[in-house]
Amino acid sequence: MVFHSKKDGLIWVVLAFIFVIYGGVASLIFYQEKDPIIFLVLSLVWVFLGILIAYIIPKTTYYTFLEDHLLCQSLFIKKRIPYRVFKKIEPSNGLYAGWKMSTAWKCLVVHFNKYDELLISPANEEEFIKMFNEKKAQFSELN
């Protein structure tokens, strides 16, 4: 079963932050150099980052329950988590440092192995948690 990633205002906050940084840097460079080409290049980079963050990353981020593992994918990055190492899943509570394959602020933390965690944001959290618990129970009985 495939779960697509949830989207919320986090993407637009990140884009606004990048815009402010790029706008400030571009203004300083333009003020010092008086060369509109540099301003244009920074603007094109910002547009590229905007397309990447707002459209490409959310469209390519998904979570798939396969036969023996959970596949989490975002762009070209893949993380495979075998069901037998599942520990628990819980809502995130604030800022998080670690593996993040999430496109939303409100998301879930998947705990696996002894100390590993992955932050994800499936669009249908209830169904995802239900499937997670089913796979965890099924593969814990086998071990």
pLDDT tens-digit profile of 82-135? 998 988 999 888 777 677 888 888 889 998 888 888 999 999 999 999 999 998
Pairing of strands 99-101, 116-120: parallel
The per-residue pLDDT for 2 is 92
Residue 141 pLDDT grade (very low, low, confident, very high; cuts 50, 70, 90): low
How high is the pLDDT of residue 54?
86
Domains of the chain: 1-143 (2.30.29.30)
Strand locations in 66-122 (E): 69-74, 77-82, 86-91, 99-101, 108-112, 116-120
Angle at 34 between CA 32 and CA 37, to 5 degrees: 115
> Contact, 103 vs 6, CB < 8 A?
yes
The confidence score (pLDDT) of residue 28 equals 85
> Mind listing the pLDDT tens digit for each residue in 23-70?
888 888 888 888 788 778 878 888 898 898 888 998 999 999 998 999
CA torsion sign, 56 to 58 to 61 to 65? negative
Q: Are 2 and 64 in contact (CB under 8 A)?
A: yes
Of the candidates 56, 61, 112, 57, which has an alpha carbon nearest to the alpha carbon of residue 84? Answer: 112
- Higher-scoring residue by pLDDT: 78, 140: 78
